Structure 1
Amino acid sequence: MTLLQWFIFFLAVQVIHFAGTWKLYEKAGRKRWEAAVPVYNAVVLMQIINRPRWWVILLFIPVVNLIMFPVVWVQTLRAFGKRSSTDTILGIVTLGLYVYAINYNDKVTYTPEGDEERKDSTVGSLLFAIVVATIVHTYVMQPFTIPSPSLEKTLLVGDFLFVSKLHYGARTPMTPIAAPMVHDTIPFINVKSYSKWPQLPSFRFPGFEKVEKNDIVVFNWPADTVVKFRDQSRVGVRKPVDKKSNYVKRCVGTPGDVLSIKDGVVMIGSKPLQLNDRARLQHQYILTTVDGGMFDSNYLINDLKINRSDFDFDTSRNIYLFRALTGENAEILKNNPKVKTIEKRVFATDPANTDTSIFPHSKPGWTVDNMGPVYIPEEGKKVDLTNETLPFYKMIITEYEKNTLEVIGGQIVINGQPATSYTFKQNYYWMMGDNRHNSEDSRFWGFVPEDHIVGKPVFVWMSLDQNQSWGNISKKVRWERMFTTVGGDDEPVSYFKYFLAALVLWIGFSFFRKKRNAEKA
Structure 2
Amino acid sequence: MTLTQWLLFFLVVQVLHGLGTWKLYQKAGRQAWEAFVPVYNAVVLMKIINRPWWWTVLLFVPIVNLIMFPVVWVETARSFGRNSGLDTLLAVVTLGFYIYYINYALDVHHIKDRSLHPKSAAGDWVSSILFAIVAATIVHTYFIQPFTIPTSSLEKTLLVGDFLFVSKMHYGARLPMTTVAAPMVHDTIPVAKVKSYLPYPQLPYMRLPGFQKIKQNDIVVFNWPVDTMLDMYHTDKYYYKPIDKKTNYVKRCVGLPGDSLSIKDGYVYINGKKNVLPDRSKIQFSYDIQFKGISTNEQAYDLLNRYDITDGMGLDPETQKLFVFAASDEAVSRLKNHPNVESITVRKDSLGEANSQIFPKDPGYSWNNDFFGPLYIPKAGATINLTPEVLPLYKRAITEYEGHELSVNGNQISIDGKVATTFTFTKDYYWMMGDNRHNSQDSRYWGFVPFDHVVGKPVFIWMSWANGKPRWERFFTTVGGSGKPVSYLIPAVIVGFLLFGWSTYRKKRKKA
What TM-score results when the alignment is normalised by the length of structure 2? 0.92
Please tell me whether residue 506 in structure 1 is matched to residue 502 in structure 2: no
After superposition, the Cα gap between the structure-2 partners of 1:415 and 1:305, relative to the gap in structure 1 and judged at 3 Å, is same
Alignment of 1:80-479 (within 5 A): 80-114=80-114, 117=117, 122=124, 123-226=126-229, 236-290=238-292, 296-297=299-300, 299-300=302-303, 302-307=305-310, 310-351=312-353, 354-362=354-362, 363-465=364-466, 467-468=467-468, 476-479=469-472
Segments of structure 1 that go 5 or more residues without pairing to the other structure are 229-233, 469-475
After superposition, the Cα gap between the structure-2 partners of 1:504 and 1:300, relative to the gap in structure 1 and judged at 3 Å, is farther
Shift of 1:341: 1.4
Identity of aligned residues (%): 57
In the alignment, is the contact (CA less than 8 A) between 1:406 and 1:414 conserved in 2?
yes
Choose 320-329 or 401-410, whichever is displaced more.
320-329
Matched residue type, 1:62: P
After superposition, the Cα gap between the structure-2 partners of 1:54 and 1:516, relative to the gap in structure 1 and judged at 3 Å, is closer
Choose 404-413 or 49-58, whichever is displaced more.
49-58
Shift of 1:74: 2.2
Matched residue type, 2:286: Q
Shift of 1:9: 1.6
Rounded to whole Å, the distance in 1 between the matches of 2:448 and 2:164 is 24
In the alignment, is the contact (CA less than 8 A) between 1:293 and 1:338 conserved in 2?
no
Rounded to whole Å, the distance in 2 between the matches of 1:13 and 1:374 is 49
Shift of 1:390: 0.5
Rounded to whole Å, the distance in 2 between the matches of 1:168 and 1:195 is 27
Please tell me whether residue 32 in structure 1 is matched to residue 28 in structure 2: no
Rounded to whole Å, the distance in 1 between the matches of 2:148 and 2:501 is 33
* Count of residues in correspondence between the two structures: 503
In the alignment, is the contact (CA less than 8 A) between 1:169 and 1:208 conserved in 2?
yes
Alignment of 1:29-68 (within 5 A): 29-68=29-68
Alignment of 1:62-77 (within 5 A): 62-77=62-77
Shift of 1:97: 2.8
In the alignment, is the contact (CA less than 8 A) between 2:465 and 2:471 conserved in 1?
yes
Shift of 1:70: 1.5
Shift of 1:459: 0.7
Rounded to whole Å, the distance in 2 between the matches of 1:513 and 1:76 is 33
In the alignment, is the contact (CA less than 8 A) between 2:156 and 2:280 conserved in 1?
no
Shift of 1:507: 3.4
Matched residue type, 2:243: V
Shift of 1:107: 3.6
Choose 478-487 or 501-510, whichever is displaced more.
501-510
Shift of 1:377: 0.7
* RMSD of aligned alpha carbons: 2.3
Shift of 1:387: 0.8
3-state SS, counterpart of residue 312 of structure 1: strand
In the alignment, is the contact (CA less than 8 A) between 1:71 and 1:127 conserved in 2?
no
Matched residue type, 1:103: N
After superposition, the Cα gap between the structure-2 partners of 1:319 and 1:297, relative to the gap in structure 1 and judged at 3 Å, is closer
What TM-score results when the alignment is normalised by the length of structure 1? 0.91
